[in-house]
């Protein structure tokens, strides 16, 4: 016996039969809980502890926003080697101890959470850390926007460069962390004189259409920083 329900539901749906089960019509981008009960010759066994999984998703429409309010999920070692937002990839280049991670409290631009790029050593140096979005359907008229700041005022005045990257996945999606070589540079955004006040950054995505993954790549560790409210939206019209 297999039972399942969506996170926002209280009623369990029950399936009776022989494993494996096939379940159709699940909602996209939804957390589901599952529990199983074996049917023995002398009756039912104990019910397993519920386990959760996230349903597959279709390419996401624009506008799309990631504000990092949901808990990160554990890395699978194939697409990510650090915990990551659901359906995102988080790749730690394993240099100088810097990596992207969930951060809470007053560091957020909105809500109560954001993503931090930080190191325990407070060292500076080269790195190659990637935060890669789910597949998003672009029309050739979009832009990516994000907000960035330093986490601590003692680091004021640091300069950081963020590479905004994109990968056309209309023929095939990326499969592993080594596939970052398929990404092309959209924009290299230089953030001069970063402070603890959030700055807005925008990169035009006009050269990309169809199913696309977008990434932020950090090449230089510069103390602890915060990113929040990453969005993909239609480019505003030009002023008359």
- Write the pLDDT tens digit of every residue in 9-37: 899 999 988 888 888 887 766 778 899 98
pLDDT for the residue numbered 221: 65
Which pLDDT band holds residue 119 (cuts at 50, 70, 90)?
A: low
Share of residues in the chain with pLDDT > 70 (%): 89
pLDDT at 237 over 90: no
Which pLDDT band holds residue 123 (cuts at 50, 70, 90)?
A: low
Distance CA 48, CA 79 (A): 29
Residue 166, Cβ density class (10 Å: 0-12 exposed, 13-18 middle, ≥19 buried): buried
Which pLDDT band holds residue 120 (cuts at 50, 70, 90)?
A: low
pTM recorded for the entire structure: 0.81
pLDDT for the residue numbered 53: 74
pLDDT at 122 over 60: no
- Write the pLDDT tens digit of every residue in 40-83: 777 667 788 888 777 767 789 999 999 999 889 889 899 999 99
């Amino acid at each position: 016996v297999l039972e399942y329900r969506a996170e926002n539901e209280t009623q369990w749906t029950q399936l009776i039969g022989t494993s494996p089960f096939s379940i159709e019509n699940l909602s996209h981008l939804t957390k589901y809980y599952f529990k199983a009960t074996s049917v023995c010759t002398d009756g039912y066994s104990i019910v397993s502890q519920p386990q959760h999984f996230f349903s597959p998703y279709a390419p996401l429409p624009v506008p799309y926003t990631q504000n990092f309010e949901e808990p990160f999920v554990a890395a699978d070692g194939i697409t990510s080697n650090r915990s990551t937002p659901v359906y995102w990839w988080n790749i730690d280049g394993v240099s100088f101890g810097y990596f992207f991670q969930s951060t809470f409290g007053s560091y957020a631009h909105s809500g109560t959470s954001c993503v931090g790029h930080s190191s325990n050593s407070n060292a500076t140096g080269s790195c190659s850390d990637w935060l890669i979005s789910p597949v998003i359907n672009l029309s050739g008229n979009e832009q990516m926007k994000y907000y960035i700041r330093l986490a601590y005022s003692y680091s004021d005045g640091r300069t950081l460069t963020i590479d905004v990257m994109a990968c056309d996945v209309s023929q095939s999606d990326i499969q592993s962390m080594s596939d970052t070589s398929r990404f092309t540079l959209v924009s290299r955004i230089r953030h001069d004189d970063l402070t603890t006040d959030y700055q807005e950054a925008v990169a035009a995505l006009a050269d990309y259409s169809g199913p696309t993954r977008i990434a932020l790549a950090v090449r230089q560790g510069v103390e602890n920083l915060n990113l929040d409210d990453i969005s993909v939206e239609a480019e505003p019209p030009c002023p008359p």
